[in-house]
Chains A and B, each alone.
Chain A
Amino acid sequence: MSDNAERIRLFKVMVLARTCDDRMAKLKAQNEVAGSVFVGRGQEALSGAAGIQLRPGDVFAPLIRDQAGRFGYGETPLDVARTVLGRRTGPMRGRDGNVHRGDWGAGLLPMISHLGAMAAPVIGVLLSRRLTGKQKPGDLSVGIASIGDGGMNTGALHEAMNIAAVERLPFILLVADNQFAYSTTSDRTYACKHLVDRAIGYGVAGHRCDGTDADACLATVGAAVAAARAGKGPQLVVADLLRLAGHGTHDDASYVPEDVKSRFGDCLQMFERSLIQQGVLDAAAVAAIRDEARRQIEAAVEQARAEPQPEAATEDWSARCERDLVHVRSA
């Protein structure tokens, strides 16, 4: 079992993510948000466990249910609020929204919507590190890309995973098998017995864990990250869990049958119970963590609300960084 400091850190990240997701969903309900809001309810343990393993110099390509992983890696609630509310001050400046946010310079890659597309760029960063001699043997910077059971079936993802294996890069593919690709059940999206079996086909190490069990996630993702850092090549981590919400706030997930619901618990509730039962935290400490999370998220929302929106009149409508190609010349 991981040390208690790490468990508390994960718990805090999970609470902050759940609080943040709930607040953003409420903002959407209040009609303050353009477009969709996506929440990671039920996936916080896996995502958070990955996020807190990462350190500066690593790369993380989160997907749409990775608020916990994002916070674990260092994203601030203010960046979330600014992006969701489309503020000019945010990292995407109103040009992209909701979960499509990040900072290439900080190793937090802003996703495009096409599933599977972010794995290869993570691999590219890792290859770049190798080519420039920046990697320290035995203690490599690693890259994690998130994907779900749906995205696992894209050509892009297969291509990228294969390249990672060929190049033996310190890449971890974090798969949340949350039982539904939007509304489509797993039996219509893949036919192998378990997604982790694909590790053999790719020629990479495979790991499987219960995604509702935060301790299991910490142990499994921790082992995968450690193996990648040690130079043992790509790692495929598949966690079984259930998305405890719709695809987005627009989706009531009424298509999820009761028997499926009954098979999966809420990772956050279970982790809280376990921490209290084991005496790691008491009820007052948990309440304090929740209060602190609410305070942080509310402060971020209030600040973002007060900040300016982008303006079409002052927008720099240039998709190219070289505006005048006529004068672009090699030295």
Chain B
Amino acid sequence: MKYLEAIRLALAELLADDQRVFIYGQDIAGPFGGAFKATKGLSERFPGRVLNSPISEDAMTGLAIGAAMDGMRPIVEYQFADFASVAFNQLVNHAGSIFYRTGRPCPIVARLPVGGTPGGGPFHCQMPETWLSNHPGLVVVAPATVADAYFMLKDAVACRDPVAFLEHKYLYYHLEAEFDPRVAEHPGLGRAVVRRQGDDLTIVAYSGMVHHATAAAAVLESDHNISAEVVDLRCVRPLDEETILASLARTGRIIIASEGFPFGGPTAEVAALVAEKGFAYLDAPPVRLAARDTPIPFHPELFAEHHPDDQAIVQAALELAKY
């Protein structure tokens, strides 16, 4: 099953199992079925519950908030996460503030296609987790596997807080795995997991970067005799501090890699966490790898050099191992 198919399956099951669920977004109804086809066939199976919206990210989100407060479990599909910046106000100031201000939960799910693809350019490749996670009240999750795409979407709908659900566009069709939702186990929504065990250093990643991290760990093992542990954050807000610190306690060295921009964000938060709460586990300073501090370039050659990849992680790991 592909990552995108797992999302579609989860959406279909959510619509089938829970009458409160509806999906709202641009171009999601049939026969088109969404820019990435995540909702292909769903409007036909669930008439009136997979609704095309105007190009109005702010009002789409405001509408979802109202419906959620009236008892629904709306799922909003933003065509690209980049455009959720138009909905910033409703997401952070409204959805994020409702529970604290009023004591009533606001269970909306914002599905955000994130991440870079060559040729996507500055406005179709961005990662929104840094600006979303800074605000209190929002949950931000970033599944990296087929099973997580399926389970975390269902968990996001079960969660009573507003959830930003980051779906990596490159993984949609490129990630495929054996997956049977009837037998697969899954941890809770906020739990980070160790994707690969290791002794010498920890690589923390999320979303598409998890695959670069595991590929780098394989190279480190085979070519350099370095045993790297890969921690997939899964949920970047709130952070599963326990799992991160437990891994660091085993390895003493940590690299935090992300496709996002370098200033602030989950990589900085994890680095601050290990400095504050994991100082006594450190054998070396924490290392952050992030995208360059420019808008994301269009040209594939520039794009490839804009964000860290397997090779960058391997290089950082080799240097870190010498400390």
B155 touches A329 (CB 8 A): yes
B155: which of A93, A119, A166, A328 is its contact (CB, 8 Å)?
A328
Given contacts A128-B72, A131-B72, A121 and B158 within 8 Å (CB-CB): no
Distance in angstroms between the alpha carbons of A110 and B94 in the assembled complex: 10
Contact code string A151-169 (vs B, CB < 8 Å = 1, else 0): 0000110011011001000
**A-side contacts of B276, CB under 8 Å:** none
Q: A326-B188, A329-B186 are in contact. Are A159 and B59 (CB under 8 A)?
A: yes
In the complex, B215 has a CB within 8 A of chain A: no
| Chain A nearest CB, measured from B105 CB (Å) | 4
Q: Quick check: B190 and A325 within 8 Å, CB to CB?
A: yes
Given that A124-B64, A128-B72, A159-B58 are known contacts, is A321 also in contact with B93, CB under 8 Å in the complex? no
* Minimum CB distance partner of A331 in chain B: B158
CA–CA, A327 and B240, complex, Å: 11
Residue from A121, A155, A322 in contact with B65 in the complex, judged by beta carbons closer than 8 Å: A121
Q: Are A163 and B54 in touch, CB under 8 angstroms?
A: yes
**Which residues does chain B contribute within 8 Å of A122, judged by CB atoms?**
66
Cβ-closest chain A residue relative to B55: A159
- CA distance in complex: A59, B67 (Å): 12
Among A103, A124, A155, A331, point to the contact of B63 (Cβ < 8 A): A124
Q: Within 8 Å of chain A (Cβ to Cβ): is B294? A: no
B274 interface residue per 8 A CB criterion: no
Q: Which of A103, A120, A124, A160 contacts B70 (CB 8 A)?
A: A124
Q: Distance (Å) between the CB of B238 and the closest chain A CB?
A: 6
Let me know if B67 and A128 touch, CB within 8 A.
yes
Output the nearest chain B residue to A317 by Cβ-Cβ distance: B100
Contact, CB under 8 Å: A92 / B65: no
**What's the Cα separation between A324 and B160 when bound, in Å?**
12
A321 to B103, CA, bound (A): 8
B196 at the interface (CB under 8 A from A): no
A330 within 8 A of B: yes
- Which B residue sits closest to A107, measured CB to CB? B70
The answer to whether B63 touches A112 (Cβ under 8 A) is no
Q: How many A-B residue pairs have CB under 8 A?
A: 172
In the complex where A325-B238, A328-B190 touch, is A123 in contact with B59 (Cβ < 8 A)? yes
Contacts of A284 in B (CB 8 A): none
- Bound Cα distance from A93 to B60, whole angstroms: 29
Contact between A160 and B62, CB atoms less than 8 A apart: yes
B56 and A159 contacting across the interface, CB-CB below 8 Å:
yes
Given A104-B102, A114-B89, A328-B189; A128-B58 close (CB under 8 Å): no
Q: How far is the CA of A331 from the CA of B103 in the complex (A)?
A: 24
Interface of chain A residues 55 through 100 with chain B (CB within 8 A): 59, 91-93, 95-96, 100
Which residues of A are found within 8 Å of B20, using beta-carbon distances? 132
Contacts of B18-75 to chain A: CB distance below 8 A: 19-20, 22, 48-49, 53-54, 56-72, 74
A52 CB contacts on chain B under 8 angstroms:
none
Contact partner, A127, options B66, B90, B189, Cβ 8 Å: B66
Instruction: Quote the shortest CB–CB distance from B42 to chain A (angstroms).
Output: 15
Contact A120 B65 (CB under 8 A): yes
Instruction: From A95, A114, A163, give the contact of B56 (CB < 8 A).
Output: A163
Q: Is the CB of A321 within 8 A of B22?
A: no
Taken together as a complex, chains A and B put the C-alpha atoms of A329 and B235 apart, in Å, by: 13
Residues on the A chain within 8 Å of B297, using CB: none
Given A124-B65, A125-B67: A330 and B101 interface contact (C-beta under 8 Å): no
Q: With A325-B238, A329-B189 as known contacts, state yes or no: A112 contacts B66, CB within 8 Å.
A: no
A268 to B158, alpha carbons, bound, how many Å?
A: 50
Knowing A112-B97, A120-B61, A329-B188 touch, does A321 contact B160 (C-beta < 8 A)?
Answer: yes
Query: Which chain A residues lie closer than 8 Å to B116 at the CB level?
Result: none
The one of A102, A103, A155, A325 in contact with B139, judged by C-beta atoms closer than 8 angstroms, is A325
Q: Shortest beta-carbon distance, A83 to chain B, in Å?
A: 11
Report the interface size for chain A: residues with CB under 8 A from the other chain: 50
B113: Cβ under 8 A from any A Cβ: no
Query: A121 contacts which chain B residues (CB < 8 A)?
Result: 62-63, 65-66, 69, 94
The answer to whether B266 has its CB under 8 Å from any CB of chain A is no
Bound Cα distance from A118 to B22, whole angstroms: 21
A162 contacts which chain B residues (CB < 8 A)?
54, 56, 59
- B89: A residues at CB distance < 8 A: 114, 117, 156
CB distance from B313 to the nearest CB of A (A): 27
Residues of B within 8 A of A277 (CB): none
Are B101's CB and A325's CB within 8 A? Answer: no
CA distance in complex: A117, B65 (Å): 11
Assess the B69–A95 pair: CB atoms within 8 A.
no
Q: Does A319 contact B (CB under 8 A)?
A: yes
**Is B161 an interface position by the 8 A CB rule?**
yes
Q: Is the CB of B54 within 8 A of A159?
A: yes
Report how far A109 CA is from B184 CA in the complex, Å: 42
Q: Is A129 an interface residue (CB 8 A)?
A: yes
Is A330's CB under 8 angstroms from B62's CB? no
In this assembly, does A257 line the interface, its C-beta being within 8 Å of a C-beta of chain B? Answer: no
CB-CB nearest 8 A-B residue pairs: A124-B66, A120-B62, A325-B190, A159-B59, A121-B66, A319-B136, A159-B56, A330-B154
**Residues of B bordering A, CB below 8 Å:** 19-20, 22, 48-49, 53-54, 56-72, 74, 86, 89-90, 93-94, 96-105, 136-137, 139, 151, 154-155, 157-161, 186-191, 235, 238, 240
21 residue pairs of the A-B complex, CB under 8 angstroms, read A95-B101, A119-B59, A120-B60, A120-B62, A120-B63, A121-B63, A122-B66, A123-B59, A123-B63, A125-B66, A125-B67, A128-B70, A131-B48, A131-B72, A159-B57, A160-B59, A166-B54, A322-B159, A325-B188, A326-B188, A328-B188
Beyond contacts A114-B93, A155-B86, A327-B190: 9 other A-B pairs, Cβ-Cβ < 8 A, are A121-B63, A127-B67, A128-B66, A160-B56, A160-B63, A319-B136, A325-B190, A327-B188, A328-B189
